[in-house]
Amino acid sequence: QAQLVESGGGLVQPGASLRLSCAPSEKMNTVAWFRQVPGKEREFVAAFRWNGSGTRYLDSLKGRITTSRDNAKNTAYLHMNNLTPEDTAVYFCAAVKSNLIISSMANPRFYDNWGQGTQVTVSS
């Protein structure tokens, strides 16, 4: 399995922005982020096909998040704006070599490579 190296989490104040990075050790065609808080199920946040042909966001986060990628660095990014305490969670990067269809992107079972998770804490 490929390794996914995550970075970018931390403690920020409400209203701040944050960028999470995910660097797969191999080429992946679909990359996603999920988040989890203690006692709750892992929640889908965003996903995209590396070739730019499809993107999906959690509806409640649309307008506050975007994704991007740097092909030269083989690194994917999750950009989050106007963070609130409800965004506090461990954020996991996930990836798979296949090009997932949009309807499958939110299902964690379709991803076979996972990062170690990075803590995002939004607090004043």
Backbone angles phi, psi at 19, to 5 degrees: -125, 120
pLDDT at 1: 85
Give the pLDDT confidence score for residue 57 in this predicted structure: 97
pLDDT of residue 81: 97
Residue with tokens 């379709």: 110
Query: Across 71-124, where does the E strand assignment appear?
Result: 75-80, 89-96, 113-114, 118-122
pLDDT single digits (tens) 53-101 = 899 999 999 999 999 999 999 999 999 999 999 999 999 999 999 999 9
CA end-to-end span of the chain, whole Å?
A: 39
Nearest of 63, 47, 64, 56 to residue 120 by alpha carbon: 64
DSSP 65: E
Angstrom CA distances, 61 to 44, 97, 109, stand at 10, 26, 22
User: What are the tens digits of pLDDT across the range 12-62?
Assistant: 999 999 999 999 999 999 999 999 999 999 999 999 999 988 999 999 999
- pLDDT of 19 reads 98
Burial class (CB in 10 A: 0-12, 13-18, 19+), 1: exposed
- Average pLDDT (115-122) is 97
Structure tokens, 90: 């461990």
